[in-house]
Amino acid sequence: MDERPARPSTVSVGGLIGYARCPKLYYWSSVRPLPRFAGPSARIGTEIHRWIEMKSRGQATLLEVEDEPDVTVEELAGTPGRQEDLRKAFVQSRFGEMVPLFAERPFLLPLEGIAIEGRIDAIYGLPDGRWEVVDWKTGQVPPQDDPLGRVQLDLYALACIEVWRKTPEDLKLTYFYLRTGEERSYAVDDVEGVRHRIGLWLRGIGAAAFEPTPGTHCRFCDFRPFCDAGKEWVAANP
């Protein structure tokens, strides 16, 4: 019988969203890591984040070589956009001439005895005024009805509230999809609901609850060859 894994002291934003999508995905990524395909999407995503930071700040990047921006499993799947096109989309956007208040801003958000470790791509605004929290996306635009579609921004909003003492009314949350130039913006309208959902996931990680929850994400999961539930779902939903 496998020994129960130790409760982690930190969880990355990407790892937590992975757990929300499928606890088994988190298990094979962070608890008992299995080999995974390091495709071009991961490399291009990291390089574009570095380039945007240098372009918008006009100085050297704060990302170290070993650092990576927060990425979710959906962003690592599929064919990435060409770097030239992604850079052009940023330059032509309203952000192209704006200077962020913070770029690649790291944070630690303690909750349920575990620290969520993340890095916000960009925050625009004034120190004591309204903030627009922006996350650059280099992958496909997800469907509007994805129940986890705004979780990453919700996590960032909670960090702004808990760590930097911003009020929900002072925050605007924006995804910018570099492949299409599309923006999706949200208000912070349910802080307690966000805190509750995140707390449930963290308690699940702490309790070593790693049962798979198969779904459309199984189609591009690196771990499907090891996962009977994932293989069965994909076979039943060709």
| Burial class (CB within 10 angstroms; exposed 0-12, middle 13-18, buried 19+) of 33 | exposed
Looking from the CA of 191 toward its CB, the CA atoms found within 13 Å total 14
Identify whether 234 is part of a domain: no
Quote the pLDDT of residue 62. Answer: 47
> pTM (2 decimals)?
0.88
Q: CA-CA distance, 144 to 150, in Å (whole number)? A: 10
The domain in which residue 145 lies consists of: 38-211
Identify whether 158 is part of a domain: yes
Quote the pLDDT of residue 46. Answer: 81
Identify whether 232 is part of a domain: no
Cα dihedral across residues 187, 152, 124, 184: positive or negative = negative
Domain at 146, CATH number: 3.90.320
Quote the pLDDT of residue 48. Answer: 87
Identify whether 219 is part of a domain: no
183: CB partners within 8 A, 6+ apart: 174, 175, 176, 177
Quote the pLDDT of residue 63. Answer: 45
Q: CA-CA distance, 142 to 75, in Å (whole number)? A: 10
Q: Is residue 156 within 8 Å of 70, Cβ to Cβ? A: no
The residue type at 133: V
Quote the pLDDT of residue 163. Answer: 96
Angle, nearest 10°, between helix axes 191-206 and 151-163? 100
Identify whether 71 is part of a domain: yes
* Number of domains the chain is built from: 1
Strands 114-125 and 102-111: antiparallel
- Going residue by residue through the chain, which has 238 residues, state the pLDDT in tens, using 9 for 90 and above: 456 778 899 999 999 999 999 999 999 999 999 887 666 666 788 888 888 988 876 544 444 444 556 556 555 555 555 888 899 999 999 999 999 999 999 999 999 999 999 999 999 999 999 999 999 998 888 889 999 999 999 999 999 999 999 999 999 999 999 999 999 999 999 999 999 999 999 999 999 999 999 999 999 898 999 999 999 999 999 8
Quote the pLDDT of residue 142. Answer: 87
Quote the pLDDT of residue 60. Answer: 41
Identify whether 217 is part of a domain: no
Identify whether 121 is part of a domain: yes
Q: CA-CA distance, 7 to 113, in Å (whole number)? A: 10
Identify whether 107 is part of a domain: yes
Q: Strand, helix or coil at 195?
A: helix
**What does the H/E/C string look like for 76-124?**
HCCCCCCHHHHHHHHHHCCCCCCCCCEEEEEEEEEECCEEEEEEEEEEE
Question: Which residues on neighbouring strands pair with residue 176, listed in sequence order?
Answer: 136, 183
